[in-house]
Structure 1
């Protein structure tokens, strides 16, 4: 069933290549961009690893409501440093290689991408239940590593560690989980690779 938060096919996507090399840097960039006045709630912000013959790094995509896209584009042009590549449909801004990488990012969701910000993410602090996670956020599917088909009772507790990074998999925002103490679950990705995001909570 499609979540009411689902982004596929309903939001324009802006790709950004600001030269970030790591997930930590890309996560930090996302939170800086989302502080811009034109960026409203309801944005899906993802990271994307890329590699070409010339370069490699981590790009960002921002799926935004149609009504906000032009204002967000203008804000990004002002906010991002020289040398950044931006792409939105037939628009492009910046050096050609950076724009090419940004286009790859813009084309990735919802087939792929690691979601950093998405509708409902603010609810994912402390411990939540499986039912709350699915009902109150854009996450549509939960998968336990090693037991992908195991049923998850709705009352099962998930230790979020205030760091929940689902991924787009074939158009479905999917969160990978691992068993935790006391019969609970926890996201597969731990906070350590991107500790800067605690500063933006």
Structure 2
């Protein structure tokens, strides 16, 4: 899909949780079809923040989204900010709830590959993934890759946790 745009909400979106929330809100307002992708991208430097990208299956969906988003308080620009977005919305994400097998992840969603941190090779297709309803794969060289890690009972969990502890929370 080459029909993409970037949405920059400025300093109001500095962390992934806020970016996820805004991405879901904008997707609902736009009534995005399941074939659309919504990703977050980290922008480093003096104005460190998170920007969003949307990728559509057609030029007409792109035009409609650009018009509606430009009417809001966001800076909208053509294309993707980089090639390494963190996918929040993607085909099949809604089917990745509860515990699913790696084979189900690959068959039901746009995720192309599952890797296990510290592991060698791909996990077995029957390996169980406890999703915690928070599955955020990353684009790597044009392939959507979910990083997982070993968990209790021989299961796997996505590397990114749904409610991370903020740095220095106990201080």
Q: TM-score scaled by structure 2? A: 0.89
| Other-structure match for 2:113 | 141
Q: 1:130 aligns with which of 83, 91, 102?
A: 102
Q: 1:157 aligns with which of 128, 137, 153?
A: 128
| Other-structure match for 1:85 | 75
**Runs of 5+ unmatched residues, structure 1:** 1-9, 90-105, 195-201
- Paired residue secondary structure (2:145): strand
The structure with higher relative contact order (CA 8 Å, sep 6+) is 1
Contact 2:38 2:90 in 1 (8 A): yes
Q: TM-score scaled by structure 1? A: 0.76
**1:164-191 superposed Cα distances (whole Å, 9 cap, x missing partner):** 0000111110010000111110000010
For residues 185 and 38 of structure 1, do their structure 2 counterparts lie closer, same or farther at Cα, with a shift above 3 Å needed? closer
- Paired residue secondary structure (2:121): coil
Contact 1:38 1:68 in 2 (8 A): no
Contact 2:99 2:131 in 1 (8 A): yes
CA deviation after TM superposition for structure 1 residue 42, in Å: 1.0
| Other-structure match for 1:170 | 141
Query: How many Å separate the matches in 2 of 1:151 and 1:57?
Result: 33
CA deviation after TM superposition for structure 1 residue 51, in Å: 1.8
Instruction: Report the count of equivalent residues.
Output: 162
Contact 2:116 2:122 in 1 (8 A): no
Matched, 1:182 2:153: yes
| Other-structure match for 2:168 | none
Contact 1:179 1:185 in 2 (8 A): yes
Contact 2:38 2:55 in 1 (8 A): yes
Matched, 1:48 2:20: no
**1:100-137 superposed Cα distances (whole Å, 9 cap, x missing partner):** xxxxxx242xx301111100000010000011000110
Matched, 1:76 2:48: no
CA RMSD, aligned part only? 1.6
